[in-house]
């Protein structure tokens, strides 16, 4: 059970944070189809940062070099840098959408094409292969928090085993950021104004709100969250490796956002659901739901008839299938921000 | 503050020699407008005369190429709405600037929020809004979402937005277009209250009655140019309309007595579900239209007229009822089947429905008949025939455009776009013409033209079903009036026997007839 | 039309010019990246960068290198390969173009391409060519690919038509669904190629004797292993799409519906049918592209697709947008993209750089085409300045229309017209 929860969280948290990235863009009025691309870019930047720090022995320069605490600091630094570069990358979309009033779907698609291309181009030059890994060791060894580090080595209860053992600080940081961002969106002046720009920019403009500025803020925050989410994804799910791909995770985040009806709480729940499916697809053979040693899903996949359906292929496509079904059933009710995707033009009333 | 000097200066706002150009058009050409302290000043002009542009300049939405704006005699620069607000200028826009998914309160405070460390503080705001709403009699529900409240309340929210910002120069841009005669009366009273409290009001309208009733002075614009400013007390409607249009206006449509003949359209018990709420948008409507008469459906916007027309023309599916056209049951027929059976349709929204704006004029001309053998051969379009036909219609109906048949519909003026639709629909020569707000947003010349064309069609024996929101149009053009209120026909009136006031009562649901046509 | 003076005022000229500008900026962007990387990386250096830049621009003409110096000249292998690789992206380009003309953004060409791939390969490899003539198998496989693509494309079409679901989102989902389903299907298909150490690869169709006819092209490009009649079929299809869109009533309906669904409906055009049909046709084109590529007999398919989508679908977007969604223009933009592709492989082969730079260039071009309208408008304004002529608002019919006349206000990028 602990394994199931941990694995689900590992997939759900990046989904959640990237879906929130989508919310900030769309609430300000810009369709951010480039989430996938920004994630890829952010993942690359974060991994590159860690790789370079290892290569040039920067970790060793820190006080208490091998200390796990300073490693956490580095992890957070990696997240911040991935986020900042993600913002810069997203500004390409912002510039096209806000200044040039370009088609946001096309510019988003362009960024989704640009990110893997540019990442792979550099990865090949830097690593001389198709993927960039840590310079030495693996993510678990360098960054994972184990209960022993917290002085809980002896403790063997469910809570400690699930939430304090073999976890990454990034996971909890993301939850914190998610909560803070949700509050900003709903309880602050900035949030109110941002949302008004996605719903009715003409109204916002007539009240002296700078629509351009708000939309730039939206896209910058969006880029930060998506870039950071990309690095967290790479760190926690693929052993801190960058290969110009996040396997459609950015698009899945879009689906989560729509499923969650652009509202943070719903998004968190949707992300958990989708995370569960991802977790089933990736680790179905080692999930022990009842804690009695019987790996039910594994047994099922070997079953002569059930096994035909309940196999990794099925779990893998489940999120997309569900997204499609959710889209189909909620399309009448779902409320996208009204002005999203429409360039704001002062002259048009 | 220099209260003393500014109080002495009679004009609170002056806009001097304002010129504003858009690509290809001078929207404002050397316009001067002076607003006195504590007066209601009307700005009169036709659609497209430049009123809205001028107000947008004052409100900081546009920058003029020439001219200056003075507040209390001092030159000011208004670069954006923030500057306007700082000068205590507020505006109720023609299309309300409200965020529909926000609450009323959020809409009022948006852009002028109280905050503590960036967090919203709404308590103070709530108190102030409720005081204001009591003081001026502006009833609202602060916690309702804007999308759920009536148009009238939305307008009150807009007014409160200005008052919340302590504005004392208030601009009302065509505020009565969406209101019932009774609501208009209420608005006039609110405006007088505001004036009594010392607010200065700019009132934009093209409706002479309202201007005569409420304003102190009137400034008239025509085709982007300044015509003059007069005291309301010393003028009359005829003079104003002459100033507005530039020539004496035939306010009444000339037409002979109608000669109704056989029934063309018969509708029985038509019911259409609403897309927005659970109730039916159209409830059990029955009516007949005969050849050689103009029947008008009057009513305030949003009382089911749109849904009724959509069900009649096939754009929406009715849940009950029967429609018979020229003796054929078309209740379940496709849109094209209806059109071919005998229906022409001048749609309400010429951009949404009437035209494919990115198509050329000639393509739009054959939009309803490209599939006829005249224009195609085994699925291949006969371009020569299309061109010839378009040329014919362009000449016959005097449709003006930059490049003739190959002009993109988007680049044409509203009046000519409407003429193109009228040409296309009339030339199909169908026994029934459904015309929905055929003159919306057009200038007087185009309105006169379309009205005379409709009468001509009637005299040629067509059945005309007109849907209009303009009381004047309803009274002038129709041979019979059916009033629609909340999806029901609540009365049938004879335009020669009734008054605008009575019509207004029916439209507002205050009065209705029973089955025998007697008023209740 | 008056000649030189107002060449810019012609819409077609402006489109072509905007395309050329986009291409130039894209190539220059690629060259700049190469240069910067060359200067920063001691392994590469300026000479390597100079090689790389020349290959980006003239990779198609590369004839190899001698003593570390690149040699350029006519190379029939390159051109043959270029034409072969152009086939699938011309087809996905047509797919995106056709949908775009109908007002739909078909980002799902990748999924449709996979659907076509699967159907074609299954039919071609599973049918016994000892019993059925390979020719017939080829045709069946080709049709199967088309139908599978059409089916896959029609799913987002139906979702859009009946439930008003944004086709972009639906396409994204169906893409990834296809990627997973394809892996699933091939995993248990028994079609895996087992020779040598190869894994995750399906047999080439030549295994079965099914291969696209060369149609004499191998005589023109004798050194190219890959060239076959596919390019001719693609060009014919492009012409057919052009005729469909611009000369027929069906094209009229599709375009009307794409330009304004509401007014099309008002005019009695069945809008839902148009949307589904358009997406199905787009899917069919993408599926046909896949068939032509995999039935060549020279290509082998990696069936583990669930982690990434085939690039052809996205390159198709670039091909379409770069060609202003004109079917005939797509033939040329498709060939241009494939030229880049060839240049990319030369780059990896002869320098320390790699082929991904061409993907960067393609992405930059797509990014630029998002505001190509802006470039066009800008060109138009320049033209207007050159003319500086005012057209009175009078009645023009085609008979008395002055030559070179322009509407007074025509540049408007908004979707719906603005009142007043």
- pLDDT tens profile B387-408: 999 999 999 888 888 788 988 8
Q: Using alpha carbons, select from B182, A119, B424 the residue that is nearest to residue C33.
A: A119
Q: Report pLDDT digits (tens) over C74-83.
A: 888 889 999 9
- Per DSSP, A161 falls in state I
Q: Are residues C152 and C31 in the same domain?
A: no
Question: What average pLDDT does range A71-79 have in this prediction?
Answer: 89
Residue A193 forms contact with B (CB below 8 Å)? yes
Q: Using alpha carbons, select from B476, B431, B425, B485 the residue that is nearest to residue B455.
A: B476
Q: What stretch of H or E contains C124?
A: helix C109-126
Q: Are residues C219 and C110 in the same domain?
A: yes
Contacts of B334 in chain C (CB under 8 A): 268, 270
Domains of chain A, residue spans: 2-330
Q: Using alpha carbons, select from B59, B75, B82 the residue that is nearest to residue B17.
A: B75
Lowest mean pLDDT among A34-43, B113-122, B172-181, B298-307: B172-181
Q: What is the pLDDT of residue C392?
A: 41
Identify the domain boundary among C296, C325, C354.
C325
Q: What is the pLDDT of residue A292?
A: 62
Q: Which residue has tokens 């002479």?
A: B208
State the chains in contact with B (3 or more Cβ–Cβ pairs under 8 Å): A, C
User: Count of CB atoms within 10 A of residue A201's CB?
Assistant: 26
Instruction: Give the separation between CA B295 and CA B515, rounded to whole angstroms.
Output: 19
Are C44 and A122 in contact by the 8 Å Cβ rule? The answer is no
Instruction: Give the separation between CA B445 and CA B206, rounded to whole angstroms.
Output: 14
Tell me, yes or no, whether C418 lies in a domain. no
Identify the domain boundary among C301, C325, C349.
C325
Q: Note whether C172 contacts A254, CB cutoff 8 Å.
A: yes
Contacts of C412 in chain A (CB under 8 A): none
Angle at which helix C167-187 crosses helix C134-163, to 10 degrees, equals 140
Q: Note whether C405 contacts B398, CB cutoff 8 Å.
A: no
Q: Are residues C81 and C60 in the same domain?
A: no
Question: What average pLDDT does range B171-200 have in this prediction?
Answer: 85
Identify the domain boundary among C295, C325, C355.
C325
Domain harbouring C132, CATH code: 1.10.3470
Give residues 106 to 125 of B whose Cβ lies within 8 Å of A: 106-107, 110-113, 115, 118-120
Q: Which domains does chain B have, with CATH numbers?
A: 3-245 (3.40.50.300), 263-359+430-507 (3.40.50.300)
State the chains in contact with A (3 or more Cβ–Cβ pairs under 8 Å): B, C
Q: B343 by DSSP, 3-state: which?
A: strand
**pLDDT of B65 higher than 70:** yes
Q: A330 by DSSP, 3-state: which?
A: helix
Candidates C248, C262, C263; nearest CB to B380: C248
Angle at which helix B414-427 crosses helix B444-459, to 10 degrees, equals 10
**pLDDT of B372 higher than 70:** yes
Q: Are residues C68 and C84 in the same domain?
A: no
Candidates A189, A203, A207; nearest CB to B118: A189
Print pLDDT tens along chain C (420 aa): 344 445 556 677 877 888 888 889 999 999 999 999 888 887 788 888 888 899 888 888 888 888 778 888 888 888 999 999 999 999 999 999 999 998 899 999 999 999 999 999 999 988 888 888 888 999 999 999 999 999 999 999 999 999 888 888 899 889 999 999 998 888 877 777 766 666 678 878 777 778 888 888 888 888 788 888 899 999 999 999 999 999 999 999 999 998 999 999 999 999 999 999 999 999 999 999 999 999 988 888 888 888 788 889 999 999 998 888 899 999 999 999 999 999 998 888 888 888 899 999 999 988 988 777 677 777 766 766 665 444 444 444 444 444 433 333 333 333 333 333
Q: Are residues C68 and C81 in the same domain?
A: no
Q: B101 by DSSP, 3-state: which?
A: coil
CB pairs under 8 A between B and C: 128
Q: How far is CA A231 from CA A141, A144, A145, C113, in A?
A: 17, 15, 17, 31
Residue B164 forms contact with A (CB below 8 Å)? no
Q: Are residues C68 and C86 in the same domain?
A: no
Q: Are residues C256 and C302 in the same domain?
A: yes
Q: What is the pLDDT of residue A161?
A: 80
Q: Note whether A192 contacts B101, CB cutoff 8 Å.
A: no
Residue B147 forms contact with A (CB below 8 Å)? no
CA distance B348 to chain A (A): 19
**pLDDT of B305 higher than 50:** yes
Query: Domain total for chain C?
Result: 2
Candidates C360, C363, C370; nearest CB to A102: C370
CA distance B180 to chain A (A): 24
Q: Are residues C97 and C28 in the same domain?
A: no
Q: Are residues C255 and C309 in the same domain?
A: yes
Question: What average pLDDT does range B415-434 have in this prediction?
Answer: 91
Tell me, yes or no, whether C216 lies in a domain. yes
Angle at which helix A249-259 crosses helix A264-283, to 10 degrees, equals 140
Tell me, yes or no, whether C102 lies in a domain. yes
Cβ-proximal residues to C116 (8 Å cutoff; 6+ apart), any chain: C145, C146, C148, C149, C152, C286, C287, C288, C289, C290, C291
Greatest distance between any 2 Cα atoms in chain A: 68
Q: Are residues C205 and C111 in the same domain?
A: yes
State the chains in contact with C (3 or more Cβ–Cβ pairs under 8 Å): A, B
Q: Which residue has tokens 């067509």?
A: B462
Instruction: Give the separation between CA A166 and CA C400, rounded to whole angstroms.
Output: 82
CA distance A127 to chain C (A): 12
Q: What is the pLDDT of residue C278?
A: 96
DSSP class per residue in C24-82:
HHHHHHHHHHHHHHHHH-TTTHHHHHHHHHHHHHHGGGEEEEETTEEEES--HHHHHHH
Instruction: Give the separation between CA C67 and CA B29, rounded to whole angstroms.
Output: 74
Q: Are residues C173 and C154 in the same domain?
A: yes
Give residues 178 to 237 of A whose Cβ lies within 8 Å of C: none
Range of the domain at C44: 1-74+336-410
- Confirm or reject CATH 1.10.3430 for domain A2-330, answering yes or no: no
CB pairs under 8 A between A and C: 147
Q: What is the pLDDT of residue B519?
A: 64
Q: Note whether B111 contacts A199, CB cutoff 8 Å.
A: no
Tell me, yes or no, whether C330 lies in a domain. no
Q: Report pLDDT digits (tens) over C250-296.
A: 999 999 998 999 999 999 999 999 999 999 999 999 999 999 999 98
Supply φ then ψ for residue C417, to 5 degrees: -70, 155
State the ipTM, two decimals: 0.87
Q: What is the pLDDT of residue A42?
A: 96
Contacts of C407 in chain B (CB under 8 A): 401-403, 407-408, 411-412
Q: Are residues C146 and C193 in the same domain?
A: yes
Q: Note whether C371 contacts A102, CB cutoff 8 Å.
A: yes
């Amino acid at each position: 059970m602990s394994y199931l929860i941990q694995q689900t969280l590992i997939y759900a948290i990046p989904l959640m944070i990237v879906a929130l990235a989508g919310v900030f863009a769309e609430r300000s009025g810009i369709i951010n189809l480039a989430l996938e691309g920004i994630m890829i870019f952010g993942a690359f930047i974060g991994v590159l940062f860690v790789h370079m720090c290892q290569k040039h022995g920067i970790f060793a320069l820190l006080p208490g070099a091998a200390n796990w605490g300073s490693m956490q600091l580095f992890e957070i630094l990696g997240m911040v840098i991935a986020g900042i570069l993600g913002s810069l990358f997203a500004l390409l979309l912002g510039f096209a959408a806000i200044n040039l009033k370009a088609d946001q779907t096309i510019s988003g698609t362009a960024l989704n094409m640009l990110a893997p291309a540019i990442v792979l181009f550099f990865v090949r030059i830097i690593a001389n292969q198709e993927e960039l890994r840590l310079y030495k060791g693996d993510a678990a060894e360098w960054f994972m928090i184990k209960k022993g580090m917290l002085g809980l080595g002896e403790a063997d209860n469910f809570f400690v085993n699930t939430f304090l053992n073999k976890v990454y600080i990034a996971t909890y940081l993301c939850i914190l950021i998610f909560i803070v961002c949700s509050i900003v969106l709903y309880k602050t002046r900035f949030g109110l104004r941002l949302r008004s720009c996605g719903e009715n920019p003409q109204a916002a403009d007539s009240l002296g709100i700078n629509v351009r500025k708000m939309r730039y803020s939206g896209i910058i925050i969006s880029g930060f969250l998506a870039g950071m989410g990309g690095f967290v994804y790479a760190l926690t799910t693929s052993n801190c490796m960058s290969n110009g791909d996040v396997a459609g995770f950015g698009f899945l985040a879009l689906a989560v956002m729509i499923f969650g009806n652009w509202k943070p709480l719903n998004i968190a729940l949707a992300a958990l659901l989708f995370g569960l499916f991802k977790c089933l697809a990736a680790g179905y053979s080692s999930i022990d739901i009842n804690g009695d040693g019987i790996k039910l899903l594994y047994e099922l996949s070997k079953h002569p008839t059930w096994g035909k359906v309940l196999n990794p292929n099925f779990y893998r496509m489940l999120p997309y299938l569900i997204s499609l079904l959710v889209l189909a059933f909620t399309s009448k009710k779902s409320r996208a921000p009204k002005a999203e995707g429409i360039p704001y033009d002062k002259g048009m009333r | 503050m220099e209260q003393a000097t500014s109080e002495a200066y009679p004009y609170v706002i002056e806009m001097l020699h304002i010129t504003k150009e858009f690509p290809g058009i001078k929207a404002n050409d050397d316009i001067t407008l002076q607003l006195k302290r504590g007066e209601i000043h009307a700005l009169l002009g036709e659609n497209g005369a430049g009123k809205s542009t001028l107000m947008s300049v004052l409100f900081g939405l546009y920058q003029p190429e020439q001219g200056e704006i003075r507040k209390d005699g001092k030159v000011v620069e208004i670069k954006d709405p923030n500057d306007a607000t700082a000068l205590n200028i507020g505006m109720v826009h023609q299309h309300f600037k409200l965020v529909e998914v926000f609450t009323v309160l959020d809409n009022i405070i948006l852009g002028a929020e109280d905050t503590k460390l960036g967090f919203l503080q709404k308590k103070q705001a709530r108190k102030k809004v409720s005081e204001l709403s009591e003081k001026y009699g502006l009833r609202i529900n602060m916690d309702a979402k804007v999308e759920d409240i009536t148009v009238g309340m939305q307008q009150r929210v807009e007014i409160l937005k200005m008052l919340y910002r302590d504005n004392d120069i208030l601009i009302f841009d065509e505020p009565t277009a969406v209101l019932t005669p009774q609501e208009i009366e209420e608005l006039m009273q609110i405006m007088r209250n505001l004036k009594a409290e010392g607010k200065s009001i700019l009132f934009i309208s093209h409706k002479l009655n309202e201007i005569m009733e409420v304003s102190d002075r009137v400034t008239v614009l025509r085709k982007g140019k300044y015509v003059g400013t007069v005291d309301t007390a010393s003028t009359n409607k005829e003079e104003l309309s002459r100033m507005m249009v530039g020539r004496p206006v035939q306010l009444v449509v000339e037409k002979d007595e109608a000669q109704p003949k056989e029934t063309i359209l018969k509708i029985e018990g038509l019911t259409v579900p609403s897309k927005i709420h659970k109730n039916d948008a159209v409830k059990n409507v029955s009516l007949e239209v005969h050849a050689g008469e103009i029947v008008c459906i009057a009513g305030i916007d949003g009382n089911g007229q749109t849904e009724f027309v959509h069900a009649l023309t096939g754009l929406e599916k009715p849940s009950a009822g029967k429609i018979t056209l020229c003796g054929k049951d078309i209740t379940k027929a496709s849109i094209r089947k209806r059109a071919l059976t005998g229906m022409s349709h001048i749609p309400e929204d010429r951009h949404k429905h009437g035209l494919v704006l990115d198509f050329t004029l000639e393509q739009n001309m054959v939009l309803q008949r490209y599939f006829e053998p005249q224009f195609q051969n085994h699925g291949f379009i006969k371009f020569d025939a299309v061109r010839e036909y378009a040329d014919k219609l362009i000449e016959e109906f005097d449709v003006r455009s930059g490049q003739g048949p190959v002009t993109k519909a988007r680049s044409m003026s509203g009046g000519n776009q409407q003429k193109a639709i009228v040409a296309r629909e009339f030339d199909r020569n169908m026994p029934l013409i459904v015309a929905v707000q055929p003159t919306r947003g057009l200038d007087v010349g185009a309105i006169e033209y379309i009205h005379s064309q409709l009468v001509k069609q009637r005299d040629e024996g067509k059945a005309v079903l007109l849907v209009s929101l303009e009381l004047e149009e309803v009274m002038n053009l129709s041979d019979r009036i059916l009033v629609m209120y909340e999806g029901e026909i609540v009365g049938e009136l004879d335009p020669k026997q009734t008054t605008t006031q009575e019509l207004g009562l029916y439209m507002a649901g205050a009065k209705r007839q029973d089955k025998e046509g007697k008023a209740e | 039309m008056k000649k030189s003076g107002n060449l810019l005022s012609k819409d077609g000229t402006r489109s072509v010019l905007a395309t050329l500008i986009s291409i130039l900026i894209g190539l220059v962007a690629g060259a700049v990246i190469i240069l910067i990387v060359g200067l920063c990386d001691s392994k590469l250096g300026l000479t390597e960068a100079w090689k790389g830049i020349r290959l980006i621009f003239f990779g198609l003409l590369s004839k190899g290198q001698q003593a570390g110096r690149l040699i350029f000249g006519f190379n029939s292998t390159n051109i043959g390969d270029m034409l072969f690789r152009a086939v699938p992206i011309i087809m996905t380009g047509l797919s995106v173009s056709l949908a775009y003309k109908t007002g739909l953004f078909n980002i799902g060409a990748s999924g449709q391409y996979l659907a076509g791939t699967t159907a074609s390969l299954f039919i071609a490899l599973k049918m016994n060519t000892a019993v059925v003539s390979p020719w017939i198998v080829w045709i069946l496989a080709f049709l199967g690919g088309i139908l599978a693509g059409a089916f896959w494309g029609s799913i987002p079409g139906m979702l859009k038509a009946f439930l008003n679901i944004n086709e972009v989102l639906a396409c994204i989902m169906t893409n990834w669904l296809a990627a997973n389903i394809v892996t699933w299907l091939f995993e248990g298909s028994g079609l895996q190629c087992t020779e040598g150490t190869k894994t995750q690869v399906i047999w080439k169709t030549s295994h079965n004797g099914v291969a696209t006819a060369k149609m004499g092209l191998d005589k023109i490009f004798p050194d190219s292993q890959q060239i076959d009649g596919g390019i001719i079929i693609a060009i014919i299809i492009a012409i057919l799409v052009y005729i469909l869109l611009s000369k027929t009533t069906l094209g009229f309906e599709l375009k009307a519906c794409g330009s304004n669904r509401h007014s099309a409906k008002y005019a009695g055009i069945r809008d839902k049918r148009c949307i589904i049909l358009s997406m199905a046709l787009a899917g069919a084109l993408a599926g046909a592209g896949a068939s032509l590529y995999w039935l060549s007999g020279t290509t082998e398919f990696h069936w583990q697709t669930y982690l990434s989508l085939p690039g052809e679908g996205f390159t198709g977007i670039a091909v379409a947008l770069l060609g202003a969604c004109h079917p005939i223009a797509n033939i040329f933009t498709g060939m241009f993209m494939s030229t880049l592709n060839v240049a990319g492989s030369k780059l990896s082969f002869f320098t320390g750089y790699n082929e991904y730079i061409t993907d960067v260039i393609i992405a930059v071009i797509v990014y630029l085409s998002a505001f190509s309208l802006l470039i066009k408008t800008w060109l138009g304004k320049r033209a207007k300045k050159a003319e500086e002529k005012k057209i009175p608002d009078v009645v023009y019919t085609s008979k008395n229309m002055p030559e070179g006349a322009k509407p007074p206000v025509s540049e408007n990028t908004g979707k719906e017209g603005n009142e007043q």
